[in-house]
Amino acid sequence: MSSDLDAALFGEIDPPQRLLMGPGPVNAHPRVLRAMSADLLGQFDPEMTAYMNQVMALYRPIFGTSNRWTMLIDGTARSAIEAALVSLVAPGDRVLVVNFGRFGLLLTEILARIGATVETVDASWGEVVPMDAIAHAIEKFGPKVVACVHGDTSTTMAQPLDGLGALCRAAGALSYIDATATNVADGFHYLDDRPGKPVGTAPATTPQEGELP
């Protein structure tokens, strides 16, 4: 029997060794690699639920939160960003993006695909957005969600977040934070009194009033 498939495509997987030190994938501890070679379980297996509960317990201190729904989305950072935004935002919802780099643009692109009505409050690359400009934009636009990157990797700038939660709460808006590059490493702490959901390297946390899928 002939086949168009090239047998060389299906050799044993033997990737080269790389030192990974970016905000994306990093080298895993051998204990983690061993766990990843264990047999598969179905996602509804009670044993799997127990492992997921362990993961939630391990990630709460990372965010510094007691939020029950603190979980790991299985994918790169973007998978958690999309999961959070698709859950929070419906077509036509008004979303204000605090935009000061490439990853602010990523938020506007994803939100546009969801069909949100997007407004941005911008800073030039290399700068951050002053809190009074954000306050003014919230007042003027009346968003349902304010979406902000904490550390924008493209410019290395960290947007100050102090006061953002209070502004959102006063305006009845949810606050969404992408902390992919700053969670843990840059002293980013999710605060229980800040409404919304920061998202890091695909872990995500949310208070009960906003639910992830």
Note the residues at the interface with ligand PLP (CB under 6 A).
Answer: 23-24, 76-78, 103, 149, 152-153, 178, 180-181
Choose between 108 and 166: whose C-beta lies nearer to ligand PLP: 108
DSSP string, 130-196: -HHHHHHHHHHH--SEEEEESEETTTTEE---TTHHHHHHHHT-EEEEE-TTTBTTT-B---TTS-S
Of 125, 189, 193, nearest to 156 by C-alpha is: 125
Pull the structure tokens for residue 30.
């051998």
Choose between 171 and 190: whose C-beta lies nearer to ligand PLP: 190
Smallest distance, ligand PLP to C-beta of residue 210, A = 20
CB 140 within 8 A of CB 110: no
Choose between 24 and 210: whose C-beta lies nearer to ligand PLP: 24
Choose between 27 and 76: whose C-beta lies nearer to ligand PLP: 76
Smallest distance, ligand PLP to C-beta of residue 178, A = 5
Q: Are strands 94-99 and 117-122 parallel, antiparallel or unpaired?
A: parallel
Smallest distance, ligand PLP to C-beta of residue 95, A = 16
Smallest distance, ligand PLP to C-beta of residue 208, A = 25
The helix/strand/coil state of 103 is helix
